[in-house]
């Protein structure tokens, strides 16, 4: 039992979460906008018609940052990475429903935005590491259905994202 305690992290090594600052919000918002760059063509609507809750987006960003700390603590300093960040943003968009459009069902709108974010996160990762893979259309449909009608965990979405890329080589 004594050996167990020697292997555990020192409490002083744990990062402490505090409310995210403007720099962090700007970084996360910039990543979100970049990952949703083709949303207008995916949804076939004018993006200026989409209304969003600033408070809900702040809540999402804070939850992503809390998860980043969780990764550091429970994966012994491992960084969460952009791919997992995209999967987490997807998860929280579905759960917290920050987007609204007067002519589109809110639940369906947020699920479509989450699918767009999820697939774009994968394609950005693939492009960054010069990997040539594609996401089958049936997967996109299955993911959309699952986000609407099933309860997918954060971990499941992160594992799904990693299943499309070769993460071990980076």
pTM over 0.85: no
State the pLDDT at residue 143: 97
Question: Is 50 in contact with 101 (CB distance < 8 Å)?
Answer: yes
Report how far residue 25's alpha carbon sits from residue 88's, in angstroms, rounded to the nearest whole number.
Answer: 15
> Does the structure show a pLDDT above 80 at 169?
no
Residue of 54 and 100 predicted with greater confidence? 100
Q: Is 124 exposed, middle or buried (0-12, 13-18, 19+ CB in 10 A)?
A: middle
- The three-point CA angle 51-67-63 to 5° equals 30
> Does the structure show a pLDDT above 80 at 29?
no
Closest CA to 34 of 67, 75, 82: 82
State the pLDDT at residue 69: 78
Share of the chain above pLDDT 70, in %: 82
Q: What is the mean pLDDT of the chain?
A: 84
Q: Give the best-scoring range by mean pLDDT among 31-35, 65-69, 162-166.
A: 162-166
- Helix, strand or coil, per DSSP, at residue 121: helix
Share of the chain above pLDDT 90, in %: 44
> Does the structure show a pLDDT above 60 at 170?
no
State the pLDDT at residue 25: 75
State the pLDDT at residue 7: 45
pLDDT tens-digit readout, 33-47 = 788 888 888 888 888
pLDDT tens-digit readout, 116-127 = 999 999 999 999
């Amino acid at each position: 039992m004594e050996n167990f305690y020697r292997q555990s992290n020192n409490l002083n090594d744990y990062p402490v979460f505090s409310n995210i600052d403007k720099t962090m919000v700007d970084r996360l918002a910039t990543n979100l906008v970049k990952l949703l760059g083709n949303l207008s063509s995916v949804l076939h609507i004018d993006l200026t018609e989409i209304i969003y809750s600033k408070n809900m987006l702040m809540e999402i960003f804070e939850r992503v940052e809390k998860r980043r700390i969780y990764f550091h603590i429970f994966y012994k300093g491992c960084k969460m990475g952009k791919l997992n960040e995209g999967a987490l943003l997807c998860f929280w968009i579905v759960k917290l429903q920050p987007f609204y459009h007067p002519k589109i069902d809110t639940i369906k709108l947020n699920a479509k935005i989450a699918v767009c974010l999820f697939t774009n996160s994968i394609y950005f990762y693939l492009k960054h590491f010069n990997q040539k893979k594609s996401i089958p259309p049936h997967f996109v449909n299955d993911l959309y259905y699952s986000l609407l009608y099933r309860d997918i965990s954060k971990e499941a979405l992160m594992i799904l994202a990693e299943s499309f890329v070769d993460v071990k080589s980076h």
